[in-house]
Structure 1
Amino acid sequence: MLFERHASAIYSFCFRRVADWALAEDLTSIVFLEAWRRREKVISPDMVRAWLFGIATNVVRNQRRSQRRYRAALARVAPESAEPSFADESDARIGHQQEMKVILGAVKELPRREQDVLALCVWSGLSYEEAAVALSVPVGTIRSRLSRAKQHLGTHLTGSDTYESRVNRRKDDHDQ
């Protein structure tokens, strides 16, 4: 009943003190919470409205004090360094993705067994012996398949970079 009678007046009072509707709503809630906590301290029923405005005055004052302390604390903290730009990284990632599509287009032309050896030895960094174990084939087979794959890709991927340097660069970029 107390809230229904006086909430609008307290809300308007808070808004006029802080000029922010959302903050005034929060402060009004705090006023009535404090009133509930101090309900035994009401001097007389005729002075309830004045008592609520007294609480509201203190709540607004505390809020302003809190804001001043917050601003002072922020002023003491060293300013953050500039936000890093992710534009260059994004551009590089897009470039890598496009380049990898070209590479994968050429790799898809290889027989599956050569693709597997290439993925294990060149992209994943396995030794010939490790790839042989992974694929259950002799080490010599791994060597010959990888040699054929590199030869095939060398003829299909031309430009200033060799296929192997592109793949190794992708691998280095991914590891970082």
Structure 2
Amino acid sequence: MNPDEAAPVRLLRRRLRAGDPEAYASLFRDHAQRVHRLAAGLCGDRGLAEDVVGETFLAAWKNRSSISDTDDPLVPWLLAIAARQSLNATRGRSRQQRLVTRQGHRLDSTVPDIADSVSSRLDDAELLARTRAALDGLRDPEIEVLALCVWSGVSTRDAARALGVAEGTVRSRLSRARARLRALATSQPPPSPRPLPRSASAVRPLS
């Protein structure tokens, strides 16, 4: 990033950290759609994704004091928050669905299953029918790097900074996630659902 491009980013970071409402509104206008696309892909539900957008920007506002004074783009930081909020929302919806199903009802899905999207991005047609089950076999950190680096096109460097880990860790998680998806997509019988990790509802500051 050259100095002419870096200055506005650094200034925006300072304005956000200071709680400037106009800067926050600008951040929302510029990136709300991208956050919604990521959330819809992870949640498989556009309505639920709208809730995630709100939760994502609320978390960003609450954590604004942790935004560092650097020239790094803010999008990876925002998408990392969105990925975690999406995982939380999906767990909540799953619990709701189990409850309603036990009572003899079924919730309607509002968007197609995300298998098509994941399969095409991994260039493996065999994943088409089994991607949803395969995703259930991944851990949250692996889903996060897939969401950032594969679906959203974030570099491993920027993803590492957004997630607060080493770039090598991101590469390792990404490689493991890809291999795990392919293995789970072709295995018999279908993989068992992954155990739920501790709640990620408290999003740690990311910058």
Between the two structures, name the one with larger relative contact order (CA 8 Å, sep ≥ 6).
2
Q: Give your verdict on TM over 0.5.
A: no
TM-score (norm 2): 0.33
TM-score (norm 1): 0.38
Higher-helix-fraction structure:
1
Larger Rg: 1
